[in-house]
Amino acid sequence: MNGLDAEKSGPSGRKMRTIVDVPMRIWHWAFAVCICTCLFTALLSNEDRMRLHMWSGIGVFGLLGFRVLWGVWGAGYARVRHYLTSPMGLFNFVRGKLAADQPHTPPGSALVAVLMGAAFAQATSGLFASDGFLYEGPLAQFVSMAATEAATEIHYRAYQVLMAGIGIHLLAQLVYAVLRSPIPLLMFTGRRRSSLDSVHNDWTCAVLTAMLAAVPVVALGYLLR
């Protein structure tokens, strides 16, 4: 290996690899926009803003559908099996003793599970929730008042968990940035120095997955007309 190759590979022999494919990065930012729109419009008692709240919530529901499907057959490290972790994995991460180069850190994998679960609970409960005044989810008309009240309570509780999870996520990115880690840039560039194989963009699969995920969005949108 010549000097230039050594510089590109780094002292440990790791090279710059694509760890996050482009469809996954697009999904990440679309999900962030929809979540932020939901959280912002929820604070405003305005009929037009609440309609935007419902549409962005349906967008979250569709994006979650895409992410679940992409986690089954998507490109490379977006698949669910790469996010599996355990308490021992978290403990080893804290001690600085990871077994090998991994596409996702154990705390990151755990936080993804919490955020996805909270977002799913909030998006799903929002379909049946009602504030009794401005807002009524598109499916609230099909369930009992008791079910609507339960969904509304879940909707508010999931909001609190989601806010806490987002706060932890942003704080972690800030810490990584201070430590000059490449992790905060992953959802921009998709690349970091690693011994793992690079992932490739499967646009045909991504488009077909998006079409499948759009089916419930279109159906729910029809109910909101």
Which pLDDT belongs to residue 21? Answer: 96
- 81/143 Cα distance (integer angstroms): 36
Domain extent at residue 174: 19-187+200-223
10 Å CB burial of residue 56 (0-12, 13-18, 19+) is: buried
Which pLDDT belongs to residue 200? Answer: 92
The model carries a pTM of 0.89
Q: Is residue 2 part of a domain?
A: no
Q: Is residue 123 part of a domain?
A: yes
Q: Is residue 108 part of a domain?
A: yes
- 28/11 Cα distance (integer angstroms): 31
Place 89 in a pLDDT band, splitting at 50, 70 and 90.
Answer: confident
Q: Is residue 74 part of a domain?
A: yes
Task: Supply the CATH number for residue 138's domain.
Answer: 1.20.950.20
Q: Which residues of 19-45 are buried (b: 16+ CB within 10 A; e: fewer)?
A: bbbbbbbebbeebeebbebbbebbeee
Which pLDDT belongs to residue 99? Answer: 63
Which pLDDT belongs to residue 92? Answer: 85
Q: Is residue 131 part of a domain?
A: yes
How far apart, in Å, are the Cα atoms of 128 and each of 10, 51, 63, 89?
53, 15, 19, 38
How many folded domains does the chain comprise? 1
Q: Is residue 76 part of a domain?
A: yes
Q: Is residue 12 part of a domain?
A: no
Contact 19, 191 (CB under 8 A): yes
